[in-house]
Structure 1
Amino acid sequence: MTASLLWIPVTLAAAAAQTGRNATQRRLTETIGTVGATQVRFLYGFPFALLGLAAMSIATGETPPSPNAAFLAYALMGALTQILATALMLSAMRERAFSVVTAYTKTEPVQVALFGLVLLGDPLTPAMALAIAVATGGVLLMSVKPGTSLTSAGLRPVLFGLASGAFFALAAIGFRGAILSLDEGSPLIRASTTLVWGLGLQTAVLLVWLGLFDRKALVASFAAWRPSLGAGFLGALASQFWFIGFALTTAANVRTLALVEVLMAQAVSHHFLAQATTRRELAGMLFILGGVALLLLAQR
């Protein structure tokens, strides 16, 4: 496989790791609350990110590049918006099915494409736009049940899910901007460096927030260290792959292909949560796969 197409298996690996992390965090919300479960992803992921950067530096023989003002601004943007996105997603998951909320957040690729075009000048061809529209249409089809509306479980989980997608889009653009703003290093070392800074900033922000406003959740997150460690590892692993993808291609490409996560979430719901798959959901899956196929064809 050529280097130009390496982002494809990298993104698929990221989607698989993120599905596992989301399922783990969803269970943690029941014991340590939404903010506590949000913090787990970053606090317990940060040590794994440091180990990953050290291993990457040894393997490549490269020294992690020094940050500049643009890098820090983009990294902070990515860090803060990802915290908000994760908290909103977990709040929505407490009120609706795991796969449905995942679908709401996956309106993200449309917003990523627009933000990327405006903020980073990332290209958006007609073929890419069509692929994003088809795949996102499949996500929405999976979310709408016959005889009901998107607000059948209340408006709040819908708004939380859509807002989560918007903030995840801004986070993707922020982190891609940070990676591109580094002056030196291979895509791998720039991605790993950005991940460490991003998780470090997120850990610091959430430790201060919880220490000031929710010490009970902070103590609970330390008490639940075993499942939290698993969520942190999967989160760091997923982020490592996401960031490598962002270093290799546009955020819109990565986040559109990442819609396969909806199919993975559906499998989780079906196997572990005893949630059946309907014909409508199967049709939505076909649209998602069709959109992804169009995206990959557009890369030729």
Structure 2
Amino acid sequence: MEIWILITIAAAFVQNIRSSLQKHLRGQMGTAGATFVRFGFGVPFAFIFLAIAITATGTELPVLKGAFFGWIIVASLAQIFGQVLLIMLFAMRNFAVGSAYIRVEPVLAAAFGFALLFETPTLPLIIAVAVSVVGVLLITMAHVEAGIWSLATAVTKREAQIGLASAAMFGLAAVSFRGASLSLGGPNFLVQGGVTLCVAITLQALIMALWIAIKDPADFKRIAVKWKTSTMVGFVGALASFGWYTAMTLEQAAAVKAVAQIEMLFAFATSYFVFKEQMNRREITGCLLIVCGVLVLALTR
């Protein structure tokens, strides 16, 4: 199994932890504050990870050029907008359909990769993305009475449109982060991923801090009260992002995002083994399809 697949699986596992912690924080501070801690508290850890990568590989920092900053700005803003749209979706009364559309991110990442980086998806990649997306859609729509087939007629719904917009932003962000990392031209994938992470997370932290200062300065006090949990969010968030950017330096963003769907399996494993919750037939089928998608990539790349 190629190293980028192992890195992606590890990043998905860590991101599942980060998502759980952020969900806990959202109930104790504003949405902007809970989003900020992902970036702001992750900055020092990002630079630590980069220092470790430089020391371990014995290389120097690459020269940052104009193209790199262009990719970073697009990627950072797209990721923030994607997160905002996702939060809007979760605030809705019924967001099952919208959540399903978010899971088409690998498809959109493939489209952006073709348009912006001129990367033509291979047949195995197309198959893997399609299989994994169908698997996640089955899981997402498992408890909706109308079933997954209602997706075809649900595009006009506001939650579906927000879900698609969020997926598009995350797909654009993934491809742009890959573009930024590749524009460095070396010295190796670990340092390239680390540099991309440090610049991006610093920019995002500054943007979110400015937003809070303008909209709800009191959020800073709530963040300070929960500094221990926030620090943990920053650590696991930066670690997951380091994994994503490193993997996307090695492989197309669409492939990385397809393997990243395995995060759903981690969530279900926790649900089944920890909380003793049962899975229905559609959820089990979805999990198996995600595994099949990952296996297709593992055996053909």
Q: Is the 8 A contact 1:99 1:266 kept in 2?
A: no
1:137 to 1:15, Cα distance in 2 relative to 1, 3 A: same
Deviations 1:39-75 (A, max 9, x none): 1100011110011111212222222112111000101
Q: Is the 8 A contact 1:96 1:157 kept in 2?
A: no
C-alpha distance in structure 1 between counterparts of 2:87 and 2:195, whole Å:
27
1:95 to 1:272, Cα distance in 2 relative to 1, 3 A: farther
Correspondent of 1:267 among 266, 269, 278: 269
Correspondent of 2:132 among 126, 131, 135: 135
Identity %: 38
Deviations 1:156-202 (A, max 9, x none): 55444433222111111111000011134111111101100000110
C-alpha distance in structure 1 between counterparts of 2:96 and 2:59, whole Å:
40
Residue 15 (structure 1) aligned with residue 26 (structure 2): no
1:6 to 1:291, Cα distance in 2 relative to 1, 3 A: same
- Equivalent residue for 1:120? 117
C-alpha distance in structure 1 between counterparts of 2:219 and 2:76, whole Å:
20
Alignment of 1:151-300 (within 5 A): 157-270=159-272, 276-299=278-301
1:96 to 1:284, Cα distance in 2 relative to 1, 3 A: farther
Shift of 1:246: 0.8
Correspondent of 1:24 among 1, 21, 24: 21
Q: Which ranges in structure 1 are unaligned for 5 or more consecutive residues?
A: none
Q: Is the 8 A contact 1:75 1:198 kept in 2?
A: yes
Structure 1 window deviating more from structure 2 (9-18 vs 156-165): it is 156-165
SS of equivalent residue, structure 2 residue 218 = helix
Structure 1 window deviating more from structure 2 (202-211 vs 85-94): it is 85-94
Residue 48 (structure 1) aligned with residue 50 (structure 2): no
Deviations 1:105-143 (A, max 9, x none): 322100111110110112301221122111101111112
SS of equivalent residue, structure 1 residue 215 = coil
Task: Tell me which stretches of 4 or more aligned residues in structure 1 moved more than 6 Å.
Answer: 96-102
Shift of 1:296: 2.3
Deviations 1:3-50 (A, max 9, x none): xx1101101100000111011111111111221111110001111001
1:290 to 1:228, Cα distance in 2 relative to 1, 3 A: same
Deviations 1:61-114 (A, max 9, x none): 222112111000101111111112223334434557999987553221001111
Structure 1 window deviating more from structure 2 (182-191 vs 42-51): it is 182-191
Q: What is the root-mean-square deviation in Å for CA atoms of aligned residues?
A: 2.6
C-alpha distance in structure 2 between counterparts of 1:36 and 1:161, whole Å:
22
C-alpha distance in structure 1 between counterparts of 2:42 and 2:94, whole Å:
26
Q: Is the 8 A contact 2:7 2:247 kept in 1?
A: yes
Amino acid at match of 1:84: F
SS of equivalent residue, structure 2 residue 62 = coil
C-alpha distance in structure 2 between counterparts of 1:244 and 1:200, whole Å:
17
Q: Normalising by structure 1, what TM-score?
A: 0.89
SS of equivalent residue, structure 1 residue 210 = helix
Correspondent of 1:89 among 73, 81, 86: 86
Amino acid at match of 1:67: L
Residue 75 (structure 1) aligned with residue 77 (structure 2): no
SS of equivalent residue, structure 1 residue 31 = coil
SS of equivalent residue, structure 1 residue 112 = helix
Residue 62 (structure 1) aligned with residue 64 (structure 2): no
Q: Is the 8 A contact 2:105 2:170 kept in 1?
A: yes
User: When the two structures are aligned, how many residues end up with a matched partner?
Assistant: 295
SS of equivalent residue, structure 1 residue 67 = coil
Q: Is the 8 A contact 2:98 2:161 kept in 1?
A: no
Q: Is the 8 A contact 1:28 1:37 kept in 2?
A: yes
1:96 to 1:272, Cα distance in 2 relative to 1, 3 A: farther
Q: Is the 8 A contact 1:111 1:169 kept in 2?
A: yes
1:21 to 1:76, Cα distance in 2 relative to 1, 3 A: same
Amino acid at match of 2:145: G
